[in-house]
């Protein structure tokens, strides 16, 4: 009977271990440094969540300001990184053939005019923020707001701009161009992007999309507006570290994951800690090796460090804040993770 009780206790620990804090007492982590980082994070005025997972297990998490492990939150441009995963899944399943397909194949009927140069822009160009459109979004919320909230047609709005660079050559952060990936996905699969994501990604993660905003034509915003919980974000990070599998199930190809988080184009350091860009994931290198991260306005992050098998996620309130204040929160959070949390691991 004692043996049975002990076995049941072990079973409960194994099943629920990934959902609770699991202190790590090993030379692979400096617990004091990690605790100090979390203590510092507690003083951040807008932080809602901070979660650290190692080897597939959450080892420390903390929540503030109505945040919680299973509380959905609009993670803004982290959405772009989810859209990238969906494109990979669509290619794996044959809905799309490759990243070399041109947008003219899908978008021609949706716009009043599409030049030959615009039609030749590829899916890869959109994934790497190198579509070439005239745009000015980083540090300028007016550009995004005019596109998404004011313009009557979000697809047409992009093509009302001239091409400022040859596609595939110059990085220029452009939410409107990434949104085209969602439109392409919908037209290629005959499914709303949210429905496709739920069926082929989130069902396999054991999660549900509570909400995802749409443009004025009904297309899910490929650039922002998906609501995820902190634990959903950890699952996405672990999927990246596992090379496209989760709980032993293949969701997207290893090749796609490698392409996604590896360097494709220089950002010319327009964003701190993100000198390179993959497929809608920022990337860089430090003393702990290669890292990649999904980034959302105001301080929403999924950060993966493959050599350490480490995932760190964070969310911050941004509603009602000025752009400069939200940007400060974003840099403050990312700096803490890069300079204090990641260095705590060996």
CA 164 to CA 161: how far, in whole Å?
Answer: 9
Q: Is the pLDDT of residue 21 over 60?
A: no
Confidence of residue 101 (pLDDT cuts 50, 70, 90): very high
What does residue 57 show for φ and ψ, rounded to 5 degrees? -125, 130
pLDDT tens-digit map of 315-342: 999 999 999 999 999 999 999 999 999 9
Backbone angles phi, psi at 288, to 5 degrees: -95, 0
Chain CA centroid to CA 298, Å? 14
Confidence of residue 15 (pLDDT cuts 50, 70, 90): very low
Q: What is the mean pLDDT of residues 189-195?
A: 98
Other C-beta atoms closer than 10 Å to the C-beta of 10 total 10
Q: CA-to-CA distance for 209 and 258, rounded, in angstroms?
A: 25
The structure tokens listed for 215 are 């443009």
**pLDDT bucket at 54, cuts 50 / 70 / 90:** very high
299, pLDDT greater than 50: yes
The answer to whether the CB of 301 falls within 8 A of the CB of 337 is: yes
How does pLDDT run across 231-290, given as a tens digit for each residue? Answer: 999 999 999 999 999 999 999 999 999 999 999 999 999 999 999 999 999 999 999 999
The encoded tokens of residue 326 equal 């939200």
Task: List the structure tokens of 42.
Answer: 């507690």
Higher pLDDT residue, 12 or 302? 302
Is residue 298 over pLDDT 70?
yes
Tell whether the model's pLDDT for residue 83 goes beyond 50.
Answer: yes
pLDDT at 7 over 70: no
Is residue 13 scored above 70 in pLDDT? no
Helix (H, G, I), strand (E, B) or coil at 320: coil
Q: How far apart are CA 139 and CA 28, in angstroms?
A: 38
Note the helical H segments in the chain: 2-16, 31-41, 78-92, 104-107, 116-119, 123-127, 141-145, 154-159, 175-189, 193-197, 203-205, 230-241, 254-261, 323-336
Q: What is the mean pLDDT of residues 89-96?
A: 98
Residue 139: band (very low, low, confident or very high) from pLDDT cuts 50, 70, 90: confident
Share of the chain above pLDDT 90, in %: 91
CATH 3.40.710.10 corresponds to the domain 51-344:
yes
The C-alpha atoms of residue 234 and residue 57 are separated, in whole angstroms, by: 9
Residue 25 has pLDDT above 60, yes or no: no
Q: How confident is the model at residue 27 (pLDDT cuts 50, 70, 90)?
A: low
Whether residue 61 is predicted with pLDDT greater than 50 in this model: the reply is yes
pLDDT of residue 18 exceeding 60, the answer is no
Sign of CA dihedral 298, 299, 300, 301: positive
């Amino acid at each position: 009977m004692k043996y049975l009780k002990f076995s049941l206790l072990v079973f409960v620990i194994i099943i629920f271990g990934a959902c609770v804090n699991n202190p790590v007492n090993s030379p692979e982590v400096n617990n004091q440094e990690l605790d100090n980082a979390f203590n510092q994070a507690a003083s951040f005025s807008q932080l809602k969540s901070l979660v650290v997972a190692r080897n597939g297990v959450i080892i420390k998490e903390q929540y503030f300001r109505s945040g919680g492990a299973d509380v959905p939150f609009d993670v803004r441009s982290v959405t772009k990184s989810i859209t990238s995963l969906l494109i990979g899944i669509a290619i794996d399943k044959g809905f799309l053939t490759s990243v070399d397909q041109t947008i003219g194949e899908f978008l021609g009927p949706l716009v009043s005019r599409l030049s030959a140069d615009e039609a030749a822009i590829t899916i890869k160009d959109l994934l790497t923020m190198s579509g070439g459109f005239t745009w000015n979004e980083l540090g300028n919320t007016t550009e995004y707001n005019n596109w998404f909230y004011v313009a009557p047609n979000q697809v047409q709005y992009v093509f009302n701009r001239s091409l400022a660079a040859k596609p595939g050559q110059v990085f220029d952060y452009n939410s409107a161009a990434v949104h085209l990936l969602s439109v392409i996905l919908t037209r290629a699969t005959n499914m709303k992007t949210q429905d496709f994501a739920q069926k082929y990604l989130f069902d396999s993660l054991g999660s549900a999309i509570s909400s995802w905003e749409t443009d004025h034509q009904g297309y899910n915003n490929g650039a922002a507006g998906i609501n995820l919980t902190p634990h959903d974000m950890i699952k996405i990070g672990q999927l990246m570290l596992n090379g496209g599998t989760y709980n032993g199930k293949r969701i997207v190809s290893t090749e796609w994951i490698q392409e996604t988080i590896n360097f494709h184009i220089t950002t010319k350091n327009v964003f701190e800690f993100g000198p390179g860009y993959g497929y809608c994931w920022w990337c860089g290198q430090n003393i702990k090796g290669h890292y990649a991260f999904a980034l959302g306005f105001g301080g929403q992050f999924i950060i993966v460090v493959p050599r350490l098998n480490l995932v760190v996620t964070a969310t911050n309130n941004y509603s009602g804040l000025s752009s400069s204040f939200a940007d400060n929160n974003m840099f403050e959070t990312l700096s803490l993770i890069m300079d204090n949390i990641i260095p705590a691991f060996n």
